[in-house]
Copies of this chain bind each other. A is one copy, B any other.
Amino acid sequence: MEEKPARQARTQPTIYDVALACGVAPSTVSRAFSRPGRVNAETAERIRTVAAELGYRTNPLARALPTGKTDLLALVIADATNPFFFEIIRGAEEAASEGGYTMLVVDAQESVEAERQALNRTLPLVEGLVLATSRMSDSAIRVAAKQRPTVVLNRVVTDLPSVVTDNPRGMRRAVEHLAELGHTTLTYVAGPEASWVDGMRWRSMREAAFELDIKVRRLGPFAPTLAGGLAAAEKLRQQPSSAAIAYNDLVAIGMMRGLARMGARLPEDVSVVGFDNIFGSDFCTPPLTTVAAPLRRLGSFAVRALLDQMATRAPVLVRPALLPAQLVVRGSTTRKVRRSSAWVSASRATAGRTDPSGTA
């Protein structure tokens, strides 16, 4: 008659419970799961069935303590409300779970301070890091990268594995497109100054314009939001242009709304090109011509690169990975019309008319 006191049923069974029930040592149970082949096939089988009966589940916390294997990855995004990130999250999530990892999505709330804090909190928990559109300084990123394998997304940090959209090519295509439509002066509607991507796009635009013998101007900076785009519309009214390339789709859409509100007809009065092809860019009015980023691939690619790096214990990506962008032509761009921007003066006259966007 055995009288080993049964463990509290209240708590999860442990390897000790399984070991007891099988008449083997705890270490054998452990190995039956973590090191298949290390124990006799029959024994392992027996252990596994008993474990299943008992409802044993290995405790990830206990496992992580001695080994450091948490099976957790962190994806830090600049702003959880920005639709730009949603397909990226999905892509990252897919690649992570394919590799047996769980994604920790961390929202930096567009604040360097919040990003730093959130990072500190999660860093010790995770095995690797994807920093998407980080607002932190290069050096802060390097500090993080020193502690955990890191991949930078949508930004390039020297000597750190980076994954970005091919902005120069994408911008080149956009400028060509507008040039073909007869536009001779292009306005860049800038995003936040802290943004690496903004600098990149502006530079690429100037280069492309130079080669194609097109004039460029720059407005901004503006917040990378619909509101930012609204503000940009105001500025654009003061310095009209037949065509504008916006920092991103959010700004482009916001700007188009602002322009429409002022009485501009789109795309006749202003051709607008956005960047990223986010959710909504196909059903705004007019549908937005945009340089589409391969969002989902961006996410999955970054995670796979991270996983590779973790596996080989050495950076795999020495050069920044450039994922191809693609110009999606929709309704927001059109041939330049001779008659120059009548809406600028007309706007005052029509200021009282019904707001076509429906919100005041």
CB distance from A326 to the nearest CB of B (A): 14
Residue-by-residue, is A24-59 near B (CB-CB < 8 Å gives 1, otherwise 0)?
A: 000000000000000000000000000000000101
Does A115 count as interface, using CB distance less than 8 angstroms? no
Interface residues of A in 74-128 (CB under 8 A from B): 80-81, 83, 86-87, 89-90, 93, 97, 102-107, 109, 117-118, 120-122, 124-125
Which chain B residues lie closer than 8 Å to A199 at the CB level? none
Which chain B residues lie closer than 8 Å to A86 at the CB level? 80-81, 83, 86
Given contacts A61-B65, A83-B83, A118-B102, whether A359 and B124 have CB atoms under 8 Å apart is no
Contact yes or no, A282 B80, CB < 8 A: no
Q: How many residues on A have C-beta within 8 angstroms of the other chain's C-beta atoms?
A: 51
Interface segment out of the listed A207-215, A284-292, A335-343: A284-292
Given contacts A118-B102, A358-B287, whether A70 and B80 have CB atoms under 8 Å apart is no
Which chain B residues lie closer than 8 Å to A206 at the CB level? none
Contact yes or no, B357 A287, CB < 8 A: yes
Contact yes or no, A124 B59, CB < 8 A: yes
The listed residue with most B CB atoms (<10 A of its CB), out of A61, A117, A122, A330, is A61
Interface residues of A in 256-310 (CB under 8 A from B): 257, 279-280, 282-287
Contact yes or no, B62 A89, CB < 8 A: no
For the complex, give the distance between the alpha carbons of A80 and B91 in Å.
10
Does A331 count as interface, using CB distance less than 8 angstroms? yes
Which chain B residues lie closer than 8 Å to A97 at the CB level? 117-118
Contact yes or no, B357 A283, CB < 8 A: yes
Which chain B residues lie closer than 8 Å to A90 at the CB level? 80-81, 107, 109
Contact yes or no, B124 A282, CB < 8 A: no
Which chain B residues lie closer than 8 Å to A285 at the CB level? 283-285
The listed residue with most B CB atoms (<10 A of its CB), out of A60, A90, A118, is A60
The listed residue with most B CB atoms (<10 A of its CB), out of A81, A124, A358, is A358
CB distance from A97 to the nearest CB of B (A): 8
Does A151 count as interface, using CB distance less than 8 angstroms? no
For the complex, give the distance between the alpha carbons of A117 and B330 in Å.
40
Does A152 count as interface, using CB distance less than 8 angstroms? no
Contact yes or no, B93 A107, CB < 8 A: yes
For the complex, give the distance between the alpha carbons of A217 and B294 in Å.
41
Does A131 count as interface, using CB distance less than 8 angstroms? no
Which chain B residues lie closer than 8 Å to A106 at the CB level? 102-103
CB distance from A298 to the nearest CB of B (A): 14
Q: List 29 A-B contacts (CB under 8 A).
A: A12-B124, A59-B124, A61-B70, A61-B124, A62-B65, A80-B86, A80-B89, A81-B87, A81-B89, A81-B90, A81-B279, A83-B83, A83-B280, A89-B105, A89-B107, A93-B107, A97-B118, A102-B118, A102-B121, A102-B122, A103-B107, A279-B280, A280-B280, A282-B359, A285-B285, A287-B357, A287-B359, A330-B359, A331-B358
Q: Which 9 A-B pairs rank lowest in CB-CB distance, beginning with the nearest?
A: A287-B358, A330-B358, A280-B280, A331-B358, A105-B105, A285-B285, A80-B89, A93-B107, A283-B284
